[in-house]
């Protein structure tokens, strides 16, 4: 509902909304802050906190090329 959206905390980088401050902080840390521990996509600018996230993302790239 529109009322529930007004309660969301918004990411200043991508405008994604979160209900909890800790979720917003985690999102910013793993999605927007560059770190040596992050896993970066070689095809686009996305970075991920976990290798499994990058693997899933790369599968999406592969699926897009097959279409």
Dist. CA 44–CA 14, nearest whole Å: 16
Q: What is the pLDDT of residue 39?
A: 86
5 is written with which tokens? 């959206």
Q: Which domain holds residue 7?
A: 1-33
Read off the tokens for 2: 């529109």
**Full DSSP string of 32-48:** IS--TTSEE-SSSS-EE
Q: Does 2 share its domain with 20?
A: yes
pLDDT digits (tens, 9 = 90+) for 1-53: 445 555 799 999 888 999 999 999 998 887 777 666 778 899 998 888 788 88
Please, are residues 52 and 40 in contact by the beta-carbon 8 Å criterion? no
Residues 24 and 47 in one domain: no
pLDDT of amino acid 1: 44
Residues 67 and 46 in one domain: yes
Same domain, yes or no: 62 and 51: yes
8 Å CB contact between 11 and 19: no
Count of domains for the chain: 2
The CATH code of the domain that includes 13 is 3.30.160
């Amino acid at each position: 509902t529109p009322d529930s959206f007004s309660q969301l905390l918004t990411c200043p980088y991508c405008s994604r909304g979160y209900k909890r401050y800790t979720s917003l902080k985690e999102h910013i840390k793993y999605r927007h802050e560059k770190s040596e521990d992050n896993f970066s996509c070689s095809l686009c600018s996305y970075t991920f906190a976990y290798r499994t996230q990058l693997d899933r993302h790369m599968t999406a790239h592969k699926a897009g090329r097959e279409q």
